[in-house]
């Protein structure tokens, strides 16, 4: 590219995309392409959330993005044909406000919005279609409304932000409109543009079947797992069924709207065979899609049945293994029960033996009690004998003491008597009167000495009972 080459851009488009001021002749000097690339990237992130208008004015096509829908009103009024695509999250309120802004009647919008999924209304100078927009999230299909209002020179499409439905159509809207001016009559432009919008919506709806199929793959993977959460799988199968029912009902509603459009003989739609044929093609595409949906439903059902059968077989095998384990455990339980019965019998035998031992013990206890009674009787008798023995011992002690005293007394008389007898032998001893004191002293000394010696000997040998011995004998008694 030469340095001085100019970049030719349509004034309106360049301004809304890049935000640069325009030169009156629509030309712009060369500028930094990196700046353009960054600006385009930032714009593409935001343009999906802004409204759009494509138009033909004086056989020149143009388009504009804007968050302010009021900017489209003068463009629409000065165009030969225009398509306005805008968003309305509060559909019941905002859709009616936008429609009134572009000159549509309140009754047309109200009648269309009274339908649940699809609707068709033709008021002569204006008409409207209500088509479903499919959105799949986590295997759940939602049907969002797409309101298309048509009047002379204008097609107005209103939908919410949940689905980015016409991004590709917006990109090529100018080239499509330029081809209309070259290849078709002016009265056919509105009908062909309407059919192009409907086909774009149908194409995006058809793509949701692939999302549903991917969701079914996740369900199949869950069924193939080793551990299957039956409640979770049941909820997923139910959700899959509801999704397919909604998908079929949305397609049938679209067919009903297109059938009314083809046979309704609306003034705003040309009745040329080419237009009617295109509507028929769209209906055929939807019927084929219904066939694919039914086929997918059958495949899913057969796959579910097959996987369920495989899981049932696996569960049966596991059940058989568990049954074998249960039988083994039952056998072990029976063996333990048998051992328990044997132990119970042995315990009963031990109990009987213990009872017999208890009886023997009781008998021995009775004998022991009898012996204890006898022993007590003997002890009492022994105590009585001990008392008698103590009495006899006391008497014996008295007698012994008496004998000791008698022995002492006898000693006292026997010794002097013996000395006197000996000394009385005159042929041996001769005493006179002078020897009388000696004789008396001798008699007295021998008497006292013999008495003392006899007393000491009696005490030493225990013949004399002391006071301590008497006390001990009393205590023992």
What's the sign of the alpha-carbon dihedral 397, 402, 407, 409? Answer: positive
**Average pLDDT of the segment spanning 157-173:** 83
Q: What is the DSSP string of 205-241?
A: HHHHHHHHHHHHHHHHHHHHSSS--HHHHHHHHHHHH
Classify the phi-psi angles of 90: left when phi > 0, otherwise alpha if psi is within -120 to 50, otherwise beta: beta
Q: What is the C-alpha separation between 464 and 457, in angstroms, rounded?
A: 9
Q: Using CA atoms in the order 259, 262, 263, 266, what is the torsion angle rounded to 10 degrees?
A: 130
Which among 76, 198, 190 has a CA at the least distance from the CA of 147? 198
Q: What is the C-alpha separation between 454 and 456, in angstroms, rounded?
A: 5
CA distances from 148 to 66, 137, 169, 465 (A): 19, 25, 15, 151
Q: What is the C-alpha separation between 371 and 220, in angstroms, rounded?
A: 93
> Which residues face 28 on adjacent strands?
7
- The encoded tokens of residue 403 equal 């004998």
**Average pLDDT of the segment spanning 265-285:** 86
Local confidence band at 235 (pLDDT 50, 70, 90 cut-offs)? confident
Q: What confidence tens digit (pLDDT) does each residue in 280-304 have?
A: 998 999 999 888 888 877 777 776 6
CB 212 within 8 A of CB 296: yes
Local confidence band at 427 (pLDDT 50, 70, 90 cut-offs)? low
- The encoded tokens of residue 63 equal 């388009």
Q: Using CA atoms in the order 62, 66, 70, 75, what is the torsion angle rounded to 10 degrees?
A: -10
Q: What confidence tens digit (pLDDT) does each residue in 110-149 have?
A: 999 888 888 999 998 999 999 999 888 877 888 889 999 9
- The encoded tokens of residue 159 equal 């939908």
Contacts of 68 (CB under 8 A, 6+ apart): none
**Average pLDDT of the segment spanning 243-251:** 88
Collapsing DSSP to helix, strand or coil, 115 comes out as coil
Phi and psi dihedrals of 128, rounded to 5? -150, 150
Averaged pLDDT of the chain: 78
Of 138-142, 177-181, 193-197, 467-471, give the lowest mean pLDDT range. 467-471
Q: What is the C-alpha separation between 40 and 20, in angstroms, rounded?
A: 12
What are the residue ranges spanned by the domains of the chain? 1-47, 54-271
**Average pLDDT of the segment spanning 298-318:** 74
Of 119-123, 203-207, 239-243, 274-278, give the lowest mean pLDDT range. 239-243
**Average pLDDT of the segment spanning 192-207:** 90
Choices 3.90.110.10, 3.30.460.20, 3.30.420.110, 2.60.40.10: CATH for 54-271? 3.30.460.20
**Average pLDDT of the segment spanning 433-457:** 77
CB 73 within 8 A of CB 105: no
Q: What is the C-alpha separation between 290 and 284, in angstroms, rounded?
A: 10
**Average pLDDT of the segment spanning 196-210:** 89
Provide the pLDDT for residue 190: 86
- The encoded tokens of residue 365 equal 């206890």
Q: How many residues does the chain have?
A: 477
Beta sheet of 126-137, edge-to-edge order: 60-66, 51-57, 81-87, 154-159, 140-151, 126-137, 119-122
Q: What is the C-alpha separation between 382 and 344, in angstroms, rounded?
A: 54
Q: What is the C-alpha separation between 244 and 216, in angstroms, rounded?
A: 11
CA distances from 380 to 336, 367, 383 (A): 62, 19, 5
pTM metric for this prediction: 0.58
Q: Does 413 score more than 60 pLDDT?
A: yes
Local confidence band at 316 (pLDDT 50, 70, 90 cut-offs)? confident
Contacts of 250 (CB under 8 A, 6+ apart): 117, 118, 132, 134, 141, 143, 205
Collapsing DSSP to helix, strand or coil, 464 comes out as coil
Provide the pLDDT for residue 101: 92
**Average pLDDT of the segment spanning 394-406:** 75
Q: What is the C-alpha separation between 40 and 9, in angstroms, rounded?
A: 14
Higher pLDDT, 422 or 63: 63
Local confidence band at 327 (pLDDT 50, 70, 90 cut-offs)? very high
CB 253 within 8 A of CB 198: no
């Amino acid at each position: 590219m030469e340095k001085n080459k100019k970049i030719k851009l349509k004034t309106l488009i360049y301004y809304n995309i890049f935000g640069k001021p325009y030169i009156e002749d629509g030309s712009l000097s060369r500028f930094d392409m990196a700046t353009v690339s960054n600006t385009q990237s930032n714009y593409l992130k935001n343009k999906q959330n802004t409204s759009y208008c494509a138009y033909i004015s004086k056989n020149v096509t143009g388009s504009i993005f804007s968050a302010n829908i009021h900017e489209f009103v003068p463009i629409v009024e000065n165009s030969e044909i225009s398509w306005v695509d805008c968003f309305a999250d509060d559909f019941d309120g905002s859709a009616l406000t936008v429609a009134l802004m572009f000159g549509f009647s309140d009754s047309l919008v109200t009648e269309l919005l009274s339908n649940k999924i699809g609707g068709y209304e033709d008021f002569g100078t204006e008409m409207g279609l209500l088509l479903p927009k499919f959105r799949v999230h986590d295997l759940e299909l939602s049907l969002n409304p797409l309101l298309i209002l048509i009047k002379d020179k204008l097609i107005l499409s209103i939908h919410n932000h949940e689905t980015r439905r016409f991004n590709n159509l917006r990109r090529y809207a100018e080239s499509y409109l330029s081809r209309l001016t070259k290849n078709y009559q002016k009265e056919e432009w509105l009908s062909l543009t309407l059919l192009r919008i409907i086909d774009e919506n149908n194409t995006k709806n058809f793509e949701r079947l692939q999302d549903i199929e991917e969701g079914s793959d996740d369900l199949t993977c869950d069924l193939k797992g080793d551990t299957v959460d039956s409640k979770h799988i049941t909820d997923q199968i139910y959700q899959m069924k509801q999704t397919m029912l909604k998908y079929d009902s949305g397609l049938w509603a679209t067919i009903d709207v297109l059938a009314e459009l083809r046979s309704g003989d609306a003034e705003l739609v040309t009745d040329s065979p080419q237009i009617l044929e295109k509507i028929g093609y769209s209906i055929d595409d939807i019927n084929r899609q219904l066939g694919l949906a039914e086929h997918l439903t059958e495949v899913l059902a057969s796959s579910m049945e097959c996987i369920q059968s495989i899981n049932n077989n696996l569960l049966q095998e596991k059940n058989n293994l568990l049954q074998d384990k249960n039988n083994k455990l039952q056998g072990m339980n029976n063996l333990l029960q048998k051992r328990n019965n044997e132990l119970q019998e042995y315990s009963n035998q031990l109990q009987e033996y213990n009872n017999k031992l208890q009886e023997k013990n009781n008998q021995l206890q009775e004998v022991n009690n009898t012996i204890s009674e006898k022993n007590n009787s003997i002890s009492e008798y022994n105590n009585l004998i001990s008392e008698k023995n103590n009495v006899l011992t006391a008497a014996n002690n008295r007698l012994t003491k008496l004998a000791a005293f008698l022995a002492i007394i006898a000693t006292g008389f026997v010794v002097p008597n013996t000395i006197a007898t000996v000394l009385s032998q005159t042929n041996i001893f001769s005493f006179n009167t002078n020897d009388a004191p000696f004789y008396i002293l001798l008699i007295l000394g021998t008497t006292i000495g013999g008495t003392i010696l006899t007393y000491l000997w009696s005490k030493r040998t225990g013949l004399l009972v002391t006071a301590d011995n008497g006390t001990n004998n009393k205590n023992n008694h």
